[in-house]
Amino acid sequence: MPYRAPVSELRFVLDHVVGFDRVAATETFEEATPETVEAILTEAGRMAEEVLAPLNRQGDLHPAHLENGVVRTSPGFADGFRAIAEGGWIGMSADPAHGGMGLPIALTMAVNEMIGSACLALQLNPLMTQGQIEALEAHASDELRDLYIPKLISGEWCGTMNLTEPQAGSDVGALKSKAVPNGDGTYAVTGQKIYISWGDSDFAGNICHLVLARLPDGTEGTKGISLFMVPKRIPDADGNPGVANDLKVVSLEHKLGLHGSPTAVMQYDGATGWLVGEPHKGMAAMFTMMNNARLGVGVQGLSVAEAAMQHAIGYAVDRRQGKNSVKDGSILEHADVRRMVLGMKADIFAVRSIAMDCAVALDMAKATGDAAWRARGAFLTPIAKAFGTDTGIRIAGEGIQVHGGMGFVEETGAAQYLRDVRVTAIYEGTNGIQAMDLVGRKLMDGGAAAFAILDEVAETDHADLRAAAADLRTLTEWMLAQDMEDRFAGAVAYLAAFARILGVHYHLRAAAADPTRAGLARIAANRMLPEALAEMAKARTGAEELFAISSEEIAA
């Protein structure tokens, strides 16, 4: 089944669920008129359907590979990337001073969703670049901004982020990469980085690596880390790619999925780099990029969920098998298949609404400077990332189930969605880390951001949702009273409960705006609220039972 961009669904969520009109009413984003939004989503949807979707299978069957030190990308990916770049989709939210459109992040996320549904392996490339642009805008010197950002926006150059090392995964502070001053304002960067998405390609004029490394006087741990711009080719006096830098792609990972996206092991051997931001403040600068990417990765989960659902429904409509009480016909007339596909629709709507609500909050924070909007966006980010990717994995799995035995056969294409989306729950901070961030750092305000969101939910006239929101408020208060070990033990369940309650909240908003959506809202409430109650019960169990069994017993 060909991919169909959900333009009208995106418009509905923006207009009737998350209050995008508030963003467009600000001076900062006054150009985001309804007509502009419609034109952007329509054109991006057309590109996704016609140009990018045909590349998805090509990337899976013909992976990127390393040939004599050069990364050769999948057939058609270069043309697909040019279409993304020439459409201006990379720099949608970037500062117009450097060639960006200055549009809301909510529109960027909507466009990214469609690009990711069409071809997730390729969409990873501009996502990394978008995050790098934001990090440079916030932390780089004027000289670095003026040189790099316009070329990143245009797609002439591409950006990456280099955090992970063989011995330093989630514990970034354990990195061993070093940066030594050269005496001329540059630094010699040495070390090895792994899992570098789009670490190289054969269609970019330059690859711009943001690399975390430690200066000679940097302390141990994350507080002693600095951030450096280390380009593949050192720009000459005119800003064009010059001599090759002292770095290379050692190898490409052989992955479960996302075969069209080259994931590189990068080696830096005294490579020339430029400091981004203040010395020893690299993690703060990199977190700007990572937070952008975390919402973006949540949207990637949504992207695959949408594509997998469309694929499954297309198969269900065409597949004729068996008899049922309704009529002889497609398997879509079977109750169990309907359970799966309507559950997919309900969950996708919830994820899309959470992601767009988060994006709107980030836009309002930028436009108004209001700390409450900033706190809301920060609180929703780990929920959007974890729930979005968990949902993508679950729906891709159910898509295989809808196909039955044919789902296990690669030729149908159903399995690729599950293989491609699986990593999204791991990169940019595992979903367990997202949950721990939610109950840890995001509750450091005493629960103010959480309670503000729950106050909105509690205004509903749906009694069961109101009761669930009250239970979640009580659970939040319980979390605030616990030590971190007990919070962390229930963190994943707490995040899941919050996501499901928000999902029902958004469905009811949708039904109020359009009564034809009442049936799906009822399905969502009947599924999600019992799940939320179960997750809240799990969230309260604490850590004691987890550590009552020794490591030796576990490993026996």
- Sign of the four-CA dihedral 236, 241, 242, 243: positive
DSSP 353-370: HHHHHHHHHHHHHHHH--
Contact status, residue 489 vs residue 547, Cβ threshold 8 Å: no
What pLDDT is attached to residue 171? 79
Q: For tokens 């969605």, what's the residue? A: 417
What pLDDT is attached to residue 48? 98
Instruction: Give the strand pairing for 178-181 and 187-197.
Output: antiparallel
Task: For the chain, give the mean pLDDT.
Answer: 96
Domains of the chain from N-terminus onward: 54-87+119-280 (2.40.110.20), 431-556 (no CATH)
Number of residues that make up the chain = 556
pLDDT for 472-484, tens place per residue?
999 999 999 999 9
Residue 220 φ/ψ, nearest 5 degrees: -70, 155
Whether residue 452 has pLDDT greater than 70: yes
- Percent of the chain beyond pLDDT 90? 92
- Sign of the four-CA dihedral 300, 302, 308, 314: negative
What pLDDT is attached to residue 1? 67
Whether residue 321 has pLDDT greater than 90: no
Catalytic residues: 428
- Which two tokens mark 472? 């979640």
Cβ neighbour number for residue 14 with a 10 Å cutoff: 27
Contact status, residue 336 vs residue 321, Cβ threshold 8 Å: no
Whether residue 328 has pLDDT greater than 80: no
CA 362, CA 199: separation in Å to the nearest integer?
28
What pLDDT is attached to residue 283? 87
Mean predicted confidence (pLDDT) in 99-125: 98
pLDDT for 249-297, tens place per residue?
999 999 999 999 999 999 999 999 999 999 999 988 877 777 778 999 9
DSSP lists the bridge partners of residue 66 as 71
pLDDT for 15-31, tens place per residue?
999 999 999 999 999 99
- Percent of the chain beyond pLDDT 70? 98
pLDDT for 198-242, tens place per residue?
999 999 999 999 999 999 999 998 889 999 999 999 999 999 999
pLDDT for 385-435, tens place per residue?
999 999 999 999 999 999 999 999 999 999 999 999 999 999 999 999 999
- Which two tokens mark 179? 């940066």
pLDDT band at 358 (very low <50, low <70, confident <90, very high): very high
| Residue 18, SS3 per DSSP | coil
Helices (H), 319-334: none
What pLDDT is attached to residue 320? 83
What pLDDT is attached to residue 245? 98
> Tell me, what amino acid is at 36?
T
CA 456, CA 406: separation in Å to the nearest integer?
44
Whether residue 344 has pLDDT greater than 90: yes
Contact status, residue 390 vs residue 543, Cβ threshold 8 Å: no
Instruction: Give the strand pairing for 178-181 and 157-162.
Output: unpaired
Contact status, residue 460 vs residue 428, Cβ threshold 8 Å: no
What pLDDT is attached to residue 323? 64
In angstroms, the first-to-last Cα distance of the chain is 48
| Residue 17, SS3 per DSSP | coil
| Residue 243, SS3 per DSSP | strand
Mean predicted confidence (pLDDT) in 40-44: 98
Whether residue 327 has pLDDT greater than 80: no
Contacts of 385 (CB under 8 A, 6+ apart): 294, 295, 297, 298, 428, 429, 431, 434
Q: Which of 116, 114, 132 is nearest to 124 (CA)?
A: 116
